[in-house]
Amino acid sequence: MVDFGAVMGALGLTAGIISLVYTRIQVRAERTQAEEATRASILQSNTEMHDRSREIRRRALANPEVREEFLSFAISRLPSLSNLLKAEGGIERFLVYRDAMDAAQDAFFLRRRGVMTDEHWYVWTKVHMAIWSKYPGFQKTFRAAAEDGLVHPDFASFYEPIFHGKDFTDPFSENA
C-alpha cells in the first residue's frame, strides 16, 4: 500500500522544484528586460544630447560674432579643417558633412553594442554611409576630421576602407 504522506511529500517537493525553476526563469527575463530598458533610455538620452548639440551648433553659427570666433579658432587650431572651412561652401558644407559623419558614427557604435538590427545595419551601410562616401568633399572632410580627432579612432578605422572600394565590416560580428 502506498503511503499517502510520502506521495504528498513527493508532490510538494516536485511543486517546489518547479517553482524554483520558474522563479529563476522569471528573474532572468526581468533582468533582460531591465537591461533592454536601460539600453533604450541610454539611446534616447544620447539622441537628445546629440540633437541639442546640433541645435547649439546651428544657433552658434547663425550668430555672426560666434561664427567668426568659431572659424578663427578652427582655422588656427585645426589645421586639417582650415582649408575646408575656407573653401567654397565653407562652414555650411562642412556642417552638412559633419552631420552625416555624426549620424554614421552613432550607427556604428549602436551596431557594435548590438543595439542596431541586421536590417537597419544593412540600410545604413548600403544606403546612407555608402552614398556619402562617394562625395569627394565628404572624403576630404572625413579625413580632416579624423586627423584632427573629431571622430572616434575606431570609427575612422572602420570607415576609411570604403574610400578605397572595400565593403564595410560589421562591428557587431567583430565584437562577438
Give the residue ranges of the chain where pLDDT is below 70.
1, 88, 174-176
Q: How much is the pLDDT for 148?
A: 86
Mean pLDDT, all residues of the chain:
86
Among all chains, which residue has been given the C-alpha cell 525553476? 21
Q: What is the pTM of this model?
A: 0.70
What DSSP character marks residue 169?
A: P
pLDDT at 116: 87
- H-only helix segments in the chain: 4-62, 64-77, 79-86, 90-112, 118-123, 130-133, 136-147, 153-159, 171-175
pLDDT of amino acid 175: 62
- DSSP letter at 164 equals G
Q: Give the pLDDT of residue 90.
A: 79
Cα-trace Rg, the chain: 26
What's the CA gap between 138 and 120, in Å, rounded?
22
